[in-house]
């Protein structure tokens, strides 16, 4: 049992925890950095660069808002992940081949966007933006799978930390550099310059080694579609499987809801747009990067289970200061401290939760199971964005943050089932090996 039990003799199937230097200074961590950058940048093209480009060309806000719908591939990527688990392209291996294909397609599709005029070709732009989202979600599938297969269990926290920080920093290219260039260069040139940053991922994919085990790969499409779900729910039983899925939904629910309407909250509290941009946004950026970095460092010594408990508690407690902020009036110092604390917790919780998802995937079905998990944790963000406005209008900001705090509690309670404090980390594959070793020992006796 990966979350609630242990193998008969764990020493037979897992390595001794290594020193932090043995984990930190490796080519694996460099791969996580560069692939994290490659994975994040297309998303920020969609959420930062495309809306700015459309608005600069006179597209109305209602139409720009509807462009958010083209991001659906990120929520439904588990539907085609079995194809990427089952089939291997005739170059570079099962993971690197798909990664290279999606990265080249992203480079071309991002570059082509700038050649269309939003005033006359909005329908064509919709299709290309959808293609970028589709290729980006597909790249995420294969990079998530590659990262899980690349990293040993004691490297998951640190590798995830590097990946998350690089993912977020990649947003500076479409969200900052590209916008600055747009004041001096044509949009067509700006999009091609932005697209060329995909070369970072392409070069990394060509240089790293393939790590997937073809013997574990499904041999038919039916196996690729059905077996990941059968394996997951038969591993520890349907009840435990459903508990894990419920935990993934609940763990960051309160946290996501508390930040869903952050900018409107600041405006309602009387902060100017300049104050929000220079204080709140800066506080959020440095804090989430620091949280991911600290989380990765702490998890060099701390198990995933314990990290989920500690970081989850921080997530819960850092929502509470928003209750005070909603009553405190205009205070830039308070704003900076409260926002910094909240996004520090966001970084910590994301590292632990991503490492947990990686641990719960079987290497035989890495792409499909990880895609399912990551799609599921995207649901609370959608739920939060869709409902928080109605809640605030009915109860006000103070009671809203009280509700967010209370909604963080069920996810913590689920830890008693899916990640008990005293139980050591163990992957599905280690558990299977442990049971096999126990059977062999029983046969010898």
pLDDT digits (tens, 9 = 90+) for 259-274: 777 777 887 888 886 7
Length of the chain: 445
Give percent above pLDDT 90 in the chain: 24
Task: Give the number of C-alpha atoms closer than 13 A to the C-alpha of residue 138, restricted to the C-beta side.
Answer: 22
Domain CATH for 344 = 1.20.1250.20
In a domain, 221, yes or no: yes
Residue 183 CB coordination number (10 Å) = 7
Check residue 301 and give its pLDDT: 80
In a domain, 61, yes or no: yes
CA 11/CA 206 separation, integer angstroms:
36
CA 326/CA 308 separation, integer angstroms:
28
Task: Give the number of C-alpha atoms closer than 13 A to the C-alpha of residue 433, restricted to the C-beta side.
Answer: 14
In a domain, 50, yes or no: yes
Check residue 325 and give its pLDDT: 93
Residue 213's pLDDT band (boundaries 50, 70, 90)?
low
In a domain, 4, yes or no: no
Helix %, strand %, coil % of the chain (to 5): 80, 0, 20
Average pLDDT over residues 299-326: 90
Check residue 443 and give its pLDDT: 42
Give Cβ neighbours of residue 104 (< 8 Å, ≥ 6 apart).
Answer: 198, 202
Phi, psi of 158 (to 5 degrees): -70, -45
CA 37/CA 143 separation, integer angstroms:
11
Residue 212 CB coordination number (10 Å) = 22
pLDDT at 67 over 60: yes
Residue 441's pLDDT band (boundaries 50, 70, 90)?
very low
CA 428/CA 104 separation, integer angstroms:
34
CA 418/CA 246 separation, integer angstroms:
10
Nearest CA among 348, 342, 322, 308 for reference residue 402 = 322
In a domain, 75, yes or no: yes
Average pLDDT over residues 331-354: 89
Residue 226 CB coordination number (10 Å) = 13
In a domain, 5, yes or no: no
Token pair for residue 11? 């020493």
Domain that holds residue 150: 10-431
**Cα angle: 428, vertex 368, 260; to 5 degrees:** 100
Check residue 21 and give its pLDDT: 59
pLDDT tens digits, 6-15: 333 433 334 4
Number of domains in the chain: 1
Token pair for residue 110? 């991002």
pLDDT tens digits, 37-59: 999 899 888 877 887 788 777 77
Token pair for residue 428? 């599905």
Task: Give the number of C-alpha atoms closer than 13 A to the C-alpha of residue 65, restricted to the C-beta side.
Answer: 3
In a domain, 2, yes or no: no
In contact, 379 and 249? CB cutoff 8 Å: yes
pLDDT at 247 over 80: yes
Token pair for residue 153? 């269990």
């Amino acid at each position: 049992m990966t979350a609630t039990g242990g193998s008969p003799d764990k020493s037979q199937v897992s390595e001794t925890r290594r020193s932090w230097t043995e984990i930190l200074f490796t080519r694996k961590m460099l791969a996580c950095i560069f692939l994290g950058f490659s994975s994040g940048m297309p998303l920020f093209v969609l959420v930062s660069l495309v809306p700015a480009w459309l608005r600069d060309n006179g597209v109305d806000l209602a139409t720009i808002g509807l462009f958010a719908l083209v991001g659906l591939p990120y929520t439904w990527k588990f539907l085609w992940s079995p194809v990427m688990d089952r089939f291997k392209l005739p170059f570079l291996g099962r993971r690197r081949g798909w990664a290279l294909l999606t990265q080249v397609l992203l480079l071309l599709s991002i570059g082509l966007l700038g050649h269309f005029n939003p005033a006359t070709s909005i329908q064509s732009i919709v299709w290309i933006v959808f293609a970028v989202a589709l290729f980006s979600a597909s790249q995420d599938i294969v990079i998530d799978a590659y990262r899980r297969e690349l990293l040993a269990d004691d490297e998951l926290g640190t590798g995830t930390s590097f990946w998350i920080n690089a993912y977020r920093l990649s947003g500076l290219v479409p969200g900052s550099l590209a916008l600055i260039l747009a004041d001096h260069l044509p949009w067509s040139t700006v999009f091609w310059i932005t697209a060329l940053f995909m070369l970072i991922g392409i070069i990394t994919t060509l240089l790293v080694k393939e790590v997937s085990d073809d013997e574990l790969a499904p041999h038919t499409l039916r196996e690729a579609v059905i077996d990941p779900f059968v394996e997951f729910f038969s591993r520890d039983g349907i009840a435990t499987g459903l508990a894990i899925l419920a935990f993934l939904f609940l763990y960051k629910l309160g946290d996501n809801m508390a930040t869903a309407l952050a900018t409107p909250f600041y405006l309602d509290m009387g902060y100017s747009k300049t104050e929000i941009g220079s204080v709140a946004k800066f506080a959020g950026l440095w804090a989430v990067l620091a949280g991911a970095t600290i989380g990765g460092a702490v998890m060099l010594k701390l198990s995933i289970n314990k990290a989920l408990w500690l970081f989850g508690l921080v997530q819960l407690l850092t929502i509470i200061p928003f209750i005070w902020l909603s009553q405190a009036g205009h205070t830039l110092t308070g704003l900076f401290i409260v926002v910094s604390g909240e996004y520090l917790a966001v970084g910590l919780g994301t590292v632990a939760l991503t490492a947990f998802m990686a641990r719960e995937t079987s290497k035989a079905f890495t792409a499909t199971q990880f895609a399912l998990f990551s799609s599921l944790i995207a649901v609370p963000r959608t739920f939060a964005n869709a409902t928080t406005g109605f809640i605030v209008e009915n109860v006000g900001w103070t009671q809203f943050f009280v509700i967010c705090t209370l909604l963080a509690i069920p996810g913590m309670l689920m830890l008693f089932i899916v990640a008990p404090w005293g139980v050591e980390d163990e992957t599905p594959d280690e558990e299977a090996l442990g049971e096999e070793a126990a059977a062999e020992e029983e046969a010898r006796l």
